[in-house]
Amino acid sequence: MTAKEFLYKHGQSVDCIDENGSLDKFWEQMRLGLQGKGGMPMIPTYIMNADRSNIQTGVKRILIDAGGTNFRSATGYFDAQGKAVIEGLRKTTMPASDKFLTKEEFYDAIAANISRLLGEARDIGFCFSYQVDMGADVDGTVVMFSKEVKAPEVIGTKVGRETLAACKKYDDADRRIVILNDTVATLLGGMASFNERFSAYLGYIYGTGTNVCYVENTENIAKVRNLPAGQMLVNTECGNFDGFCQGDFDRTTIARTAVPDKQLFEKMTSGKYLADVIYEAFRVAREEKCFESETHIQPVNLKDVSEFLAGNGLHGMFTSESDEQFAKELCDELVRRAAKMGAIVNAALAIASCKDKTLPVAVVAEGTTFNKLCGYREYFEKYLADILNRYDIRYKLLQGEDLNLVGTLMATMTLK
């Protein structure tokens, strides 16, 4: 049995992912989400008509980026040429990623981290990479944590209000704050950094977790009444999409997570979970005697998987060249499958939002896994191009330094 045949048997091969059926399911869940139904949140951000013309130069802001693994903070401003300047960047561990924190401990950890910056700027842009319900005040109420963050008391609290209250312990100044998701920050970072014309923008994160943001006409956001005419950034929270066929190793991995009925797409593909899916493939392959020689199967991390695919890594796990090759083919197929699913989601949003086929769609991509997982980006671009070509749509992949922070700075332009 080949690696591909083994994976197909367990519902885990690339061929088990139906492009056209998945596109239709995604569009249906998009439509329901915009109506306030279904499982994909489609969260309005209340960031309206974003454009480079909104940039204010010389106004310094405090910038926070709370990601799946890292917590970054800095100050930033746009210079006279409209270029973002980021200063004083510090990276630490995301609060509650390694131990349980109370609500007070969680927000105090945030305030303590940025206390060094409070004397340099007043207003704050906060990129918060977890699901929130956004309000017209551009503050967000935490709905749930993914990526195994351990702060259950924070759920139901308003991120901006609680952060500002915690900052009062260190500095009593009155401040304003805007909350946004990392996909929104990524999209805005690309918009701010690339002075080109595009038919539409997507902000794509493929790192510890995965998600996409796009721009929607407000008339289609039926769940919010009396929105002004125009375009609004929408955070899809597509990690909740449940339209892809799960395989045996997906189901085993998902069952072990803290909330096994949520974030199903994310748990099939993202950097936090893909290594667990690959480990399950190794483990079951050994049980089914797919390896010819003795193996020493153990849990893996995605960095080692990537190095293994590049010709190194997973030392001592396989004792024969044929078994090592079989394992590499397993890893490659599962990475390819993850990339195909990511491409389908991005293609669905590009097709839905493209207004002018003479211009490309900007896909602003961020995430350590996107950039470093061996093979992922190449497979992603292949599948995305194949799908969009059928709709006569072109795309351009945009990347840059600190786009999340640049986009967070761009979002503070709404604080007028």
259 pLDDT higher than 90: no
147 pLDDT higher than 90: no
User: Does residue 62 share a domain with residue 32?
Assistant: no
**pLDDT tens by residue, 1-60:** 999 999 999 999 999 999 999 999 999 999 999 999 999 999 999 999 999 999 999 999
> Binning pLDDT at 50, 70 and 90, where does residue 323 land?
very high
- Whether the predicted model's global pTM rises above the 0.85 cut: yes
Residue 233: what pLDDT? 97
User: Does residue 207 share a domain with residue 110?
Assistant: no
User: Does residue 304 share a domain with residue 240?
Assistant: yes
- Label residue 175 exposed, middle or buried (CB < 10 Å: 0-12, 13-18, 19+): middle
> Binning pLDDT at 50, 70 and 90, where does residue 144 land?
confident
68 pLDDT higher than 80: no
What CATH number is associated with residue 74?
3.30.420.40
330 pLDDT higher than 90: yes
User: Does residue 202 share a domain with residue 334?
Assistant: yes
Domains in the chain: how many in total?
Answer: 2
User: Does residue 381 share a domain with residue 264?
Assistant: yes
User: Does residue 335 share a domain with residue 233?
Assistant: yes
User: Does residue 251 share a domain with residue 107?
Assistant: no
Mean pLDDT of all residues in 300-306: 95
Residue 146: what pLDDT? 67
User: Does residue 104 share a domain with residue 238?
Assistant: no
Residue 208: what pLDDT? 86
Residue 296: what pLDDT? 96
Is pLDDT larger for residue 373 or for residue 209? 373
Measured CA to CA, the distance from residue 286 to residue 222 in angstroms comes to 51
Measured CA to CA, the distance from residue 327 to residue 281 in angstroms comes to 9
User: Does residue 244 share a domain with residue 266?
Assistant: yes
Q: Are 86 and 74 in contact (CB under 8 A)?
A: yes
Measured CA to CA, the distance from residue 147 to residue 149 in angstroms comes to 6
Residue 242: what pLDDT? 96
Domain with 91, as residue range(s), is: 50-191+402-414
Residue 211: what pLDDT? 94
User: Does residue 152 share a domain with residue 219?
Assistant: no
Q: Give the closest residue to 233 by CA, choosing from 385, 411, 48.
A: 48
403 pLDDT higher than 80: yes
User: Does residue 350 share a domain with residue 201?
Assistant: yes
For residue 232, the SS3 value is strand
Residue 145: what pLDDT? 83
Residues 6 or more apart from 350 whose CB is under 8 A from it?
Answer: 200, 202, 361, 363, 384, 388, 393, 395
Q: Give the closest residue to 408 by CA, choosing from 43, 47, 41.
A: 47
Residues 6 or more apart from 53 whose CB is under 8 A from it?
Answer: none
Q: What is the mean pLDDT of the chain?
A: 95
Q: What is the DSSP string of 212-253?
A: EEEEEEGGG-TTSTTPPSSEEEEE--GGG---SPP-HHHHHH
User: Does residue 382 share a domain with residue 246?
Assistant: yes
What CATH number is associated with residue 307?
3.40.367.20
Query: CA gyration radius for the chain?
Result: 22
**pLDDT tens by residue, 338-350:** 999 999 999 999 9
> Binning pLDDT at 50, 70 and 90, where does residue 354 land?
very high
**pLDDT tens by residue, 83-118:** 999 999 999 999 988 899 999 999 999 999 999 999
Mean pLDDT of all residues in 166-179: 96
What the block records as the tokens of 264 is 């199903």
